Structure 1
Amino acid sequence: MRLLLTGAAGKVGQAFLPAFLSDPRFEEWEVTALCNNRVIEAADRVSVVQGSMADPEVVARALAGATHVVHMAAIKETPDQIFDVALKGLFLLLDGFRQSSVARQFALLSGDCAVGHIFQRYDAPITEASERRAYKGSYALTKTLEEVMLEQFGIQYGVRWTTLRAPWIMEKDDFRYALALGEEQFGGPAWAELIDGVALEECREGGYVPVMRDARGDYLRRNFVHVDDLVRALLAAIGNARAENQLFNISMDRPVDYGDVGALLAARHSLRPIEIDTPFHSNWLDNSKAKMMLDWAPQVDLEQMIDRAWRYERAENDPRIVWYPG
């Protein structure tokens, strides 16, 4: 068997590839990594094809002999790349794959941006049957269109597909810096858009943790997943007949409650919660289907995510880099 992997140099790809290669289920498999701007090194059982997914010749070389595809590569808030890279690239991959005599499974890593994250309101848990409601921006639009395109290739051409839809993916000290109030903040929202400038400067002096409230006034509940749990879900889906033509929500069992975040960080790290009113919506990404059909369950809960993030110390050769805008 041969797996074609896109996005191998990204956050999930760097965690996924060594886990895949060390899994006894896949010890006879080979991997082709399709890389563009960031390139991994070829290794035992791993070959590399470099080039853009928008180039038909590059895609054809990468697909040669591939029985399975795991497509992780993504663009963020780069509108000029929506069609030429993200959608054209996925179309070329799918069109080549559906014509292959050895094709078995095409897996897509998607995101809860396709169901609005915290920007769209749902009055019930978000299941795989819930309506797609992307939030504003290029990234959410591409993920929504990618999910639909993959499903349509299944309908039109019989491509066997699997989509894993993940919320905000955490690793290392991500969660700590997602709560940072200074310029070192990782991700969003931008605190300056929610907190008065004078108050924000006072909070940036240290010792505070932002605790968001949702549009209803309750503590915001926001969906996360640790990269280790996502990798385990991907491994469970590859080559699994029960995953054929299925969409799975891959998330923590419960969304993160910012009230709980404030209480835990006050108790463990003596941080003072600062409550912030927001227009965001509390949503619950339901992972029941993945637990039932993939025999998977997340292992990293809120307390573990906090402990890991606060214990992690970055080495000099492991700087925090935001590779994509947005």
Structure 2
Amino acid sequence: MRLLVTGATGKVGQAFLPAFLQEPRFAGWGVVALCNNRVIEAGDRLSVVKGSVADPDVVSVALSGVTHVLHLAAVKETPDQAIDVALKGLYLLLDHFCRKGDARQFILLSGDCVVGHIFQDYPEPITEQSPRKAYPGAYALTKVLEEVMIEQVGIQSGLNWTTLRAPWIMEKDDFRQAFALGEEQFGGPPWSALLDPARHQRLREGRCFPVMRDAQGGYLKRSFIHVDDLVRAILSSIDNAKAFGQLFNIAMNEPVDYGRVSERVRAVGGLEPADIETSFHSNWLDNSKARKILGWRPEIDLDGLVERAWTYQRAADDPRIVWYPG
């Protein structure tokens, strides 16, 4: 068996590759990493192909001998690259892969942007059957089209596909930096867009922790997943017949309640909560299907997210990386 991984140098790819290579179930497998802007070193079981997924010749070379594909490559709010990477790239991978006689499974990593996470209102937990309602922007739109494309190719060609839909992916001190009030904030929405300049400055100068309220006035609830739990879900899906032709939500068992976060951060870091009114909607990405069919369960809960993020110390050779803008 041979697995092709796109986006191998990204956040998920860097966590996945060593876990895959160390997993006894895949001891006899080879891996090929398709890299473009960043390149990793080849190893005993790991080969590297450099080039773009939008180049049919590169895709053809990368798929040589491949039986399984894990498509992690993505761009976010970069419209000039969105068509090439998200649509043309996925189309070429699927088209070439489906022509292979030994093609066994194609796994796509998607995101909860396809259901609009905090931008769209859902009156009940979001399951795999909930309607797709992308929030504004190129990234969410392309992810919706990716999910539909792989499903339809499966219908047309009989391809064994699997889509894993993840919410905001955390590693290292990401969760702490998501609440940072200064330039070091990770992700969004930026606090400068939610606060008037004077209050934003006051909160930055004090030992304050921003706590978003949702459109109904309660504490915002939003789904997260730690990269380690996501990697375990991917490993559970590879060459698993139960995952063929299936879409799975891969999220924590419960959404993160920003009010509970503020309580834990006050205990851990001594920061005082500061409520911020927003028009966002609380959501719950339901992972029941993945737990039942894959036998997967997330191990890192809210306490684990807070503990890992607030105790993590970055070394000088471990700079924060913006994997893609937006």
Q: TM-score scaled to structure 2, two decimals?
A: 0.99
Structure 1: tracts of 5 or more residues without a match: none
Residue type of the alignment partner of 2:158: G
C-alpha deviation, 1:206, in angstroms = 3.8
Contact 2:73–2:85 at 8 Å: present in 1 too? no
Distance 1:266 1:90 in 2: 44
Whether 1:211 aligns to 2:211 is yes
**Aligned pairs, how many?**
326
Q: Over aligned residue pairs, what C-alpha RMSD do you find?
A: 0.7
1:64-97, Cα deviation, whole Å (9 max, x unpaired): 1110000000011011112122200000000001
Give structure 1 regions of 4+ aligned residues with deviation exceeding 3 angstroms. Answer: none
Number of the residue aligned with 1:24? 24
> Offset of 1:157 from its aligned partner?
0.6
Q: Which residue is equivalent to 2:161?
A: 161
Quote the residue 2:307 is aligned against: 307
Worse-matched range after superposition: 262-271 or 305-314? 262-271
SS of match in other structure, 1:247: strand
Give the equivalent residue in structure 1 for 2:106.
Answer: 106
Structure 1 match to 2:289? 289
What secondary structure sits across from 2:299 in the alignment? coil
Structure 1 residue 274 and structure 2 residue 287: aligned? Answer: no
Residues 28-39 of structure 1 correspond to what in structure 2 (within 5 A)? 28-39=28-39
- Does residue 252 (structure 1) correspond to residue 252 (structure 2)? The answer is yes
SS in 2 for 1:319: coil
Percent same amino acid among aligned pairs?
67
User: Equivalences for 1:35-54 in 2 at 5 Å?
Assistant: 35-54=35-54
Letter in 2 for 1:310: W
Taking the aligned partners of 1:140 and 1:272, their CA distance within structure 2 comes to 34
Q: Which residue of 2 aligns with 1:186?
A: 186
1: CA distance between counterparts of 2:73 and 2:318?
A: 21
How far off its partner does 1:305 sit?
A: 0.4
Residue ranges of structure 2 left out of the alignment (5+ in a row):
none
- Alignment partners' CA distance in 1, 2:36 and 2:240: 29
Q: Distance in 2 between matches of 1:172 and 1:234?
A: 19
In structure 2, distance between residues paired with 1:42 and 1:196: 50
Pairs within 5 Å for 1:62-81 = 62-81=62-81
How much has 1:58 moved relative to structure 2?
0.1
Q: Is the 8 A contact 2:110 2:163 kept in 1?
A: yes
Distance 1:315 1:191 in 2: 27
> Per-residue CA shift, 1:104-155, capped at 9, x if unaligned?
0000000000010110110110000000001011111111100000000100
The equivalent of 2:15 in structure 1 is 15
SS of residue matched to 1:74: coil
Q: How many angstroms does 1:268 deviate by?
A: 2.1
Residue equivalent to 2:60: 60
Question: How far is the alpha carbon of 1:202 from its aligned partner?
Answer: 1.1
TM-score normalised over the length of structure 1: 0.99
Equivalent in the alignment of 1:120:
120
> Aligned partners of 1:118 and 1:176: how far apart in 2?
19
Cα distance in 2 for residues equivalent to 1:154 and 1:176: 40
